[in-house]
């Protein structure tokens, strides 16, 4: 992406000037997280994409299925280098069946473009595949019910990097309650494959706290350093 176009995308995010982080990866914290067992249907681990999507679409494992319009499986490049994982569908996502399509989703799209990625070049999904009522935080049983669906998506994609977007995604993927502000800026690793994982703020939070957008840009720069081998 040329610098002029990138600056236009950055301007759309409300930031006048971006200064890439001048810091290597040496000395960064290395948190290794092992993918846990959800206790769900073991056959999920053998499903291909069409079968997995069909299984999710008909899922009734937890109470969320009763109120959903439809499941929100995920979207994007199924061979992507970057896997973006958010929290759960909201009202817009529940209606449209695609993650991150509201105002927060529009900002996420601009953030990705600023980093040099079109939205369909990455894969985007959530911890939960159904919308919690009133957009409340996911409950532990709901996360457990969706866990092996997400694990299978990760296994099929084999991403070079996971971008955990927001508190709920970060806490569930890293099995921690450490605040996002202390998790970001470091390289974690996920699962037996030791997939590099970077935490950043949720776009919905950035809409409420625009001064934090610079920190999110630093997070994207860190993610780029990883995937570019720097």
Strand blocks (E) in 42-112:
75-76, 82-86
CA distance 52 to 226: 29
**Which of 55, 29, 26, 27 has the alpha carbon at shortest distance from 42?**
55
Which CATH number does the domain 3-18+31-227 belong to among 3.40.50.2300, 1.10.10.60, 3.40.470.10, 3.40.50.300? 3.40.470.10
Check: CB of residue 115 under 8 Å from CB of residue 109.
Answer: no
Check: CB of residue 202 under 8 Å from CB of residue 166.
Answer: yes
- 3-state class (DSSP) for residue 86: strand
Chain segment 58-114, per-residue pLDDT in tens:
999 999 999 999 999 999 999 999 999 999 999 999 999 999 999 999 999 999 999
Residue 36 has a pLDDT of 42
Burial of 22 per CB tally in 10 Å (0-12, 13-18, 19+): exposed
Residue 12: pLDDT above 80?
A: no
- Each domain of the chain, given as residue ranges in start order, spans 3-18+31-227
What pTM value is reported for the model?
0.84
**Which of 62, 70, 105 has the alpha carbon at shortest distance from 87?**
105
What percentage of residues in the chain have a pLDDT greater than 90?
80
Under the banding of pLDDT at 50, 70 and 90, the label for residue 168 is: very high
Residue 123 CB neighbours (<10 A): 23
């Amino acid at each position: 992406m040329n610098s002029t176009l990138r600056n236009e995308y950055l301007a759309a995010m409300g930031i006048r000037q971006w200064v890439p982080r001048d810091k290597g990866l040496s000395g960064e914290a290395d948190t290794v997280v092992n993918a846990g067992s959800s206790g769900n249907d073991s056959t999920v681990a053998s499903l291909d994409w069409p079968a997995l999507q069909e299984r999710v679409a008909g899922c009734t494992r937890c109470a969320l299925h009763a109120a959903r319009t439809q499941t929100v499986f995920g979207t994007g490049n199924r061979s992507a280098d970057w896997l973006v994982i958010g929290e759960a569908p909201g009202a817009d996502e529940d209606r449209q069946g695609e993650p991150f399509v509201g105002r927060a989703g529009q900002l996420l799209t601009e953030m990705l473009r600023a980093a040099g990625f079109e939205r369909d070049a990455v894969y985007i999904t959530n911890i939960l595949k159904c919308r919690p009522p009133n957009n409340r935080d996911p409950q532990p049983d709901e996360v457990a019910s969706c866990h092996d669906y997400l694990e299978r998506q990760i296994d099929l994609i084999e991403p070079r990097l996971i971008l955990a977007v927001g508190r709920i995604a970060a806490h569930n993927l890293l099995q921690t309650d450490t605040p996002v502000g202390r998790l970001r800026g470091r390289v974690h690793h996920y699962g037996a494959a030791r997939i590099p994982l970077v935490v950043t703020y949720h776009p919905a939070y950035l809409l409420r706290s625009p001064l934090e957008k610079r920190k999110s840009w630093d997070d994207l720069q860190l993610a780029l350093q990883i995937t570019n081998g720097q």
